[in-house]
Amino acid sequence: MVGILIVAHGAFGEALIHCASHVLGERPPQVLQLGVTMDDDPEAILPQAEELVKQLDQGQGVLVFGDILGATPCNVATRLLVPGRVEGISGVNLPMLIRALTYREEALASVTEKALSGGVAGVVHLNTDACNAVHRG
Q: Residue 88: which domain range?
A: 3-136
pLDDT tens-digit profile, the chain (137 residues): 999 999 999 999 999 999 999 999 999 999 999 999 989 999 999 999 999 999 999 999 999 999 999 999 999 999 999 999 999 999 999 999 999 999 999 999 999 999 999 999 998 888 877 667 666 65
Number of domains present in the structure of the chain: 1
Please enumerate in sequence order all residues whose Cβ is within 8 A of that of 9, keeping only pairs 6 or more positions apart, or say none. 35, 36, 37, 67, 68, 71, 72, 73
According to the model, what pLDDT value does residue 36 have? 97
If one counts every other C-beta atom within 10 angstroms of the C-beta of residue 41, the result is 8
β-sheet with 31-36: strand ranges across = 31-36, 3-9, 62-66, 86-89
| pLDDT for the residue 124 | 87
The predicted structure's pLDDT at residue 135: 67
Measured CA to CA in angstroms, residue 60 lies from 15, 31, 45, 52, 57 at distances of 25, 14, 24, 15, 7
pTM of the predicted protein model:
0.92
17: Cβ contacts below 8 Å, ≥ 6 apart: 6, 27, 28, 31, 33, 97
Indicate which CATH number applies to the domain containing 124. 3.40.50.510
Cβ-Cβ contacts under 8 Å for 106 (sequence gap 6 or more): 2, 114
